[in-house]
Amino acid sequence: MIRNVQARIPTAYGTFFLYDYTDQRNGKEHLALVMGDVAGCENVLVRVHSECMTGDTFRSLRCDCGEQLHMAMERIAMAKRGVLIYLRQEGRGIGLIDKLRAYNLQDKGYDTVEANLLLGHQADEREYWAAAAILEDLGVRSVHLLTNNPAKIEALRSYNILINERVPLQPTIHAENATYLRAKVARMRHLLQLPPAPPAPIGGSLTEDLHRCLSLLQERIARHSAHTPTPHVTLAYAQSLDGSLTATPGTPLALSGAVSMTLTHALRALHDAILVGVGTVLADDPRLTVRLIPGRDPQPVVLDSALRTPPTARLFDHPRKPWLLTTARSDESVRRRLSERGAEIILLPADATGRVSLPAALDAMKARGVRSVMVEGGVQVLESFVAAHLAHYAVITLAPRLVGGLHAFHANTNGALPHLAHVAYTQAGDDLIVWGEPIWTPAPDKMSETVHP
């Protein structure tokens, strides 16, 4: 393996150095993206990634390759040291032309393994000698390997690469890649936690525009996580044309259409946690799960200063037991009772009014591994996040109806309302979806300590 050149590469995740290599056996070029000093180091975070032009470059939704590439860069940036090896073996080694032919076969009902076999190839023709040689050249002594593929671990170990730990990369699962991922688990031994086959989405699949916006939001979250210590906060809610979220306080109102509701579940699957106020729990008794598409359930979080969450709430049936963020003024016997129901009770500082501080809430979630949180409501929670300048993105569903009810934002926000920048508009059935980044101008002198109800 010949090292040709190296150069500094600034990215959204931080600064890497890109090494170019040539495999003397076949003349192929391979790449290594390196952050930090790895020579002579143990337990270096390493991703061995095979080229996928459709996924890595064009963001194809057929596979999880592009997502794994960016997740690996993000993980390495968070560790401040690591190696991403980029092997030029497109389509699990069969090349781009036959990979596209395999896609056509998959569209006829064959899975990813069957398609390769029908074209006269093996299910997986990749080799990992080059990766082992690159790690040796870089002086890496042992690795923590970012992979879901046991065959990759076995191959690298056969070349005397010391792998002390496997680090999983859980992909986002949706209608376009679910069959592919299930085939990788069933036919290629990939170590993925996949949900059971979901019901068909109400209203049909999401459009290409909606998938594109979801993909861009996912990249935004990854960039934020690499550079910012607090979780990325996405506000997601539905309102009528006149700005109403509900007709009367404490009364649920279904505004989203079928496709918009499917989008809401896709947004949930995209985030580590989903946050609501106790008022939403009392009014709606939500489940806060992902049901209308394939995807993992986010961690449910409830802002509940006085612990009014009832032990009969459907949240306690969630696969992930809820986190109840409360204050010292909550009753100790209630804390005990809700803990027995499975909730994690998290005591946080309160402000002068006795309410949970939102910055403290975000810090608590970050400490528990949450990198992104979707805020669904209710009205006062949305208003509090906006007034505190703590929202990084907004996805707003506009339903084509007039309600004349309760609005999300009021005059008492003291001029703290933002405008949206980098705006995108997509249609979801009869609804209009507005995507954008909240911008507050002029910038405040100091972030306010606004808290939830």
The 3-class secondary structure across the chain, one letter per residue, is CEEEEEEEEEECCEEEEEEEEECCCCCCEEEEEEECCCCCCCCEEEEEEECCHHHHHCCCCCCCHHHHHHHHHHHHHHHCCEEEEEECCCCCCCCHHHHHHHHHHHHCCCCHHHHHHHCCCCCCCCCCHHHHHHHHHHCCCCEEEECCCHHHHHHHHHCCCCEEEEECCCCCCCCCCHHHHHHHHHHHCCCCCCCCCCCCCCCCCCCHHHHHHHHHHHHHHHHHHHHCCCCEEEEEEEEECCCEEECCCCCCCCCCCHHHHHHHHHHHHHCCEEEEEHHHHHHHCCCCCCCCCCCCCCEEEEECCCCCCCCCCHHHHCCCCCEEEECCCCCHHHHHHHHHCCCEEEECCECCCCCEEHHHHHHHHHHCCCCEEEEEECHHHHHHHHHCCCCCEEEEEEECCCCCCEECCCHHHCCCCCEEEEEEEEEECCEEEEEEEEECCCCCCCCCCCECC
Residue type, 370: V
pLDDT in tens, 59-117: 898 999 999 999 999 999 999 999 999 999 999 999 999 999 999 998 888 889 999 99
- 124 is a catalytic site residue: yes
Residues 373-379 have a mean pLDDT of 91
Does 227 lie in the same domain as 165?
A: no
- Summarize the annotated binding site for GTP as residue ranges: 47-51, 68, 90-92, 112, 147, 152
| 236 and 349 together in one domain | yes
Q: Which of 303 and 172 is assigned the larger pLDDT? A: 303
Same domain, 354 and 215: yes
334 pLDDT higher than 80: yes
Q: What pLDDT was estimated at residue 447?
A: 38
* Residue 47 domain flag: yes
pLDDT of residue 403: 77
What is the pLDDT at residue 410? 66
Do residues 40 and 183 both lie within one domain?
A: yes
Inside any domain, residue 100: no
Q: Model confidence at 331, in pLDDT bands (50, 70, 90)? A: very high
- Rounded Cα–Cα distance for residues 170 and 158 (Å): 25
User: In this structure, is residue 338 part of a structural domain?
Assistant: yes
Residues 225 and 353 in one domain: yes
Answer whether residue 453 is part of any domain. Answer: no
Same domain, 299 and 182: no
Catalytic choice (126, 182, 223, 296): 126
pLDDT tens readout for residues 156-199: 999 999 999 999 998 887 778 888 998 999 889 999 877 654 44
Q: Exactly one of 56, 124, 284, 431 is catalytic; which is it? A: 124
The CATH number covering residue 160 comes to 3.40.50.10990
What is residue 203's predicted lDDT score, i.e. its pLDDT? 40
Task: Examine the fold and report which residue of 141, 159, 188 is the final residue of a domain before the chain moves on.
Answer: 188
> In this structure, are 164 and 232 located in the same domain?
no
| Residue stretches of the annotated binding site | 47-52, 63, 65, 68, 90-92, 112, 147, 152
Q: Does residue 235 have a pLDDT over 60?
A: yes
pLDDT at residue 200 is higher than 50: no
Q: In this structure, are 416 and 354 located in the same domain? A: yes
User: Which residue's entry shows tokens 């909606």?
Assistant: 210
Asked which of 7-11, 17-21, 318-322, 351-355 is least confident by mean pLDDT, the reply is 351-355
Residue 118 lies in a domain: no
At residue 136, the pLDDT reads 97
**pLDDT average, residue stretch 217-235:** 89
pLDDT band at residue 42 under the 50/70/90 scheme = very high
Number of domains in the chain: 2
Identify whether 240 is part of a domain: yes
Question: Annotated binding site for Zn(2+), which residues?
Answer: 52, 63, 65
Show the domain range for 58.
2-89+126-188
For residue 229, is pLDDT > 80?
yes
pTM for the whole structure? 0.58
Above pLDDT 90, what percent of the chain?
66
Q: Both 175 and 246 in a single domain?
A: no
**Band (143; pLDDT cuts 50, 70, 90):** very high
Residue 131 placed within a domain? yes
Same domain as 179, residue 218 = no
Q: Is residue 429 part of a domain?
A: yes
7 pLDDT higher than 60? yes
- For residues 410 and 317, membership in a common domain is answered with yes
* pLDDT over 60 (residue 15): yes
pLDDT digits (tens, 9 = 90+) for 240-295: 888 777 766 666 667 888 889 999 999 999 999 999 999 999 988 999 998 888 77
**Share above pLDDT 70 across residues of the chain, in percent, rounded to a whole number:** 91
Per-residue pLDDT at 196: 55
Based on the fold, state whether residues 255 and 336 are members of the same structural domain: yes
pLDDT at 353 over 80: no
